[in-house]
Structure 1
């Protein structure tokens, strides 16, 4: 009998311990006393040891917050990460937080997936970020994400190649006409060296948006419900993009892969390139030549869209996890960490205070190219972002590429893009 009573007592104790434990699938139950476990999805879209850097940031945070553990989950590209996050949300297994494209905002809002961060931070906290990065964080007056690994497009140029071509290595092309002229001098007839490469896969919409901002207004409304793809200044911009390869012969015609453009530049196959500042550290570490970084050349004005990823917190998680996620965001966006992230990756420091740190001040003093993307923010605007953004962007990308490979005119590509995108967005315009 004593043995039976003892067994009953042990069994009761086990049942009690289980019922009081973590019952939230490893996330730390709301109101529980155990450690909070944050699932943190992130992508890698540029060269460099991003995974290692994220893992180290998670460990550093855990040392300061013993009751919170962060589980970084590498999701692949931005698109792959978004697909995995959307699948998890739809399966009622939402992650706690993620780095996703700033342009995924309206898609996430339509899924009712993300937490409104407006009441979670002070206004002075948001005021610390550069204005150009805040556009893609908001819908109306509500802030839904925090800038993290942000970028603009910049012009990289090989100063050694400039010298060989008789060009001033300290003077990048400042206008479209100068870009054409310089690229012509830098192109070799045997195809061994191109004057300029502008990617035409993955993010060709981003490249065209930059050219369009240099020629006129932005290509979408700020509520995610309307696009302006068929405006005359967009057609002028697409025609310029096409002509560099098809008419001027200073750029490969047809498809130019996003991922291979930096490699072509580093190997000397391309003397200039348009690419994200997120590859600045890769170029700095791997280029065996003297290179420069400059604003994108102007048409009527300077211009570049912002780009990159923001930090999102998800709605359908325990309050304890939301509070822990906010702590992690505060940790990641402290000036010293923003500064170091910029140095380690090439992404723009997202806060004004980051450029006041000794680390980034010294880095910019030693490597002035690191300040170019920040200075270009004065002329930057929000990246293309709409409801059903994946569909709209794919349509735009496909039609731009058709124009670049010569199967459509600029006018046809943009008219088709406008018609198709308007059809998708019509359902949101009455809301």
Structure 2
């Protein structure tokens, strides 16, 4: 039986290496989806044929994700007696993406996967995906926030459905703001304010040893994502919308990288050298840094573990506000039986009903992917009690598609490597970006 793989992926390497944190309206919202459950097929005249779907996904943020997925699978099975969901935990983003690619190349395609939304062009290059445009109604697809749809489409064709999606937001410690003489209800709104706030929030002893940093922005894993945010704040994105061009060496990107570098190397308000993606939230929670840039997917973890009052705000603006979207989409694979495709679509419908999207956002911190989710009583009440949960949704007005190209794993890896070389002081911003552009052009030339 074909496998159903749902991978919550933020994997950074795809193909040779992988790279790099929705619902429409249903009967619980306003519009019924166009697809239906797979028809029960009879064996021996009276026994319905069952479909077993293996559900693979990685876990990239803090929180009890595996328990949540187990519970969703059980709830789905209660409503669909002939469809069995077998959750399988694929490890890291990299591990799970590698498993999917290996299965596709081995002619044993998974059924469904939660993969990074940015994996679109690489999966299309492999001819691995089932087109989803005819599987769902326009009304269903229109229920998603438009900012999340950019990485789901090629032209007007829909290839995946938003699931666990995110943007980058700024977290800040309100108690540290008070101690530094800053208004705890006013986060920095510009780059200049961010630099000035961070200087006031950096604490060091007479020997110069820092006990509290003003800000931390990760420099491993998703540094390209952080730089993309800074570039968007300069006015433009860093790639075309057809997966064939990147703009790494443009002035707005260099300006963003230089600011990123200066926070540690010049302003001394951020640790110099490597800042690990996974440890930044821990540093914030433990009081080692007063502010951090990180995915809204860690919001619930911070809410649960932080022993202090904290705020969440838009990323500060340069010429404008801006953040790329992030996170994973649900993909259905092409080379599987029709009954598996229908079962996969039914599972997607289940996962993207407004109440479930709302609960997933509450439980994880990911942004609710549909407008209908924010109309549910449970999410309205949650936001009323915890207004920080609405910041990422509001920032979608200024959000843009995440970096996604053909050979996306290779492009992202080379970009990450060159950015990190600049952040640790090995090369200049200009050198890092010119090198990235030359390498990316060489890879993408066959797709133009």
What TM-score do the two structures reach when normalised by structure 1? 0.93
Structure 2 gaps of 5+ residues are 5-37, 43-47
Q: What's 1:111 paired with?
A: 126
Q: Which residue of 1 aligns with 2:113?
A: 98
Counterpart CA distance in 1 for 2:194 and 2:249 is 25
Instruction: Answer yes or no: is 1:140 the counterpart of 2:159.
Output: no
| 1:26 CA displacement | 7.6
Query: Which residue of structure 2 lines up, in the alignment, with residue 49 of structure 1?
Result: 64
Q: Contact 1:395/1:420 (CA < 8 Å) preserved in 2? A: yes
**Contact 2:3/2:109, CA 8 A, preserved across alignment:** no
1:40 aligns with 2:55: yes
Larger mean CA deviation between 109-118 and 196-205 belongs to 109-118
Q: Which is helix-richer, 1 or 2?
A: 1
Contact (CA 8 Å) 1:41, 1:95: kept in 2 or not?
Answer: no
Question: Is 1:76 the equivalent of 2:95?
Answer: no
C-alpha displacement of 1:34: 1.8
Q: Cα distance, 1:42 vs. partner?
A: 1.0
- The residue number in structure 1 matching 2:275 is 256
> How is 1:375-414 mapped onto 2 (pairs within 5 angstroms)?
375-414=394-433
Find the counterpart in structure 2 of residue 60 from structure 1.
Answer: 75
Partner residue in 2 for 1:312: 331
Q: Offset of 1:397 from its aligned partner? A: 0.1
* Counterpart contact for 1:180–1:244, Cα < 8 Å: yes
Which moves more between the two structures, 77-86 or 293-302?
77-86
Q: Which moved more, 1:256-265 or 1:66-75?
A: 66-75
Instruction: Say whether the 8 Å CA contact 1:40–1:95 is kept in structure 2.
Output: no
Shift of 1:31: 6.5
Tell me which moved more, 172-181 or 92-101.
92-101
Structure 1 portions without partners, runs of 5+: 1-23
Shift of 1:80: 1.6
Q: Does residue 373 of structure 1 match 2:388?
A: no
Give 1:165's aligned residue: 180
Q: Distance in 1 between matches of 2:180 and 2:96?
A: 43
Kept in 2, the 8 Å contact 1:214–1:302? The answer is yes
Deviates more, 1:38-47 or 1:229-238: 38-47
Aligned partner (choices 147, 165, 180) of residue 195 of structure 2: 180
Q: Compared with structure 1, are the counterparts of its residues 238 and 25 closer, same or farther at alpha carbon in structure 2 (3 Å cutoff)?
A: closer
Question: How far apart in 2 are the matches of 1:286 and 1:151?
Answer: 20
State how far apart, in whole Å, the 1-side matches of 2:385 and 2:136 are. 34
3-state SS of paired residue (2:115): strand
CA contact (8 A) 1:152 1:306 kept: yes
Distance (Å, rounded) in 1 between the aligned partners of 2:126 and 2:67: 31
Give the SS at the match of 2:151.
helix
What is the CA distance between 1:25 and its match in structure 2?
Answer: 6.0
CA contact (8 A) 2:161 2:330 kept: yes
Q: Residue deviations 1:147-183, cap 9 Å, x none?
A: 0000000000000000000000000000000000000
Matching residue within 148, 153, 165 for 1:150? 165
Q: Show the counterpart of 2:15.
A: none
Q: Secondary structure at the match of 2:212?
A: coil
Structure-1 residue corresponding to 2:341: 322
Once residues 222 and 26 of structure 1 are traced to their aligned partners in structure 2, the CA distance between those partners, rounded to angstroms, is 31
Q: Quote the residue 1:356 is aligned against.
A: 375
Higher relative contact order (CA 8 A, sep 6+): 2
Judge conservation of contact 2:189–2:317 (CA < 8 Å) in 1.
Answer: yes
The answer (yes or no) to whether the contact 1:311–1:329 under 8 Å persists in 2 is: yes
Alignment deviations for residues 314-354 of structure 1 (CA, whole Å, 9 cap, x no partner) = 11110000000000000000000000000000000000000
Aligned partner (choices 300, 324, 327) of residue 319 of structure 2: 300
Selected match of 2:143 from 128, 139, 152: 128
What TM-score, normalized by structure 2, do the two folds share? Answer: 0.89
The alignment status of 1:240 with 2:262, answered yes or no, reads no
Alpha-carbon distance, 1:73 to partner: 1.6
> Greater shift after overlay, 339-348 or 108-117?
108-117
> Which residue number in structure 2 is paired with residue 216 of structure 1?
235
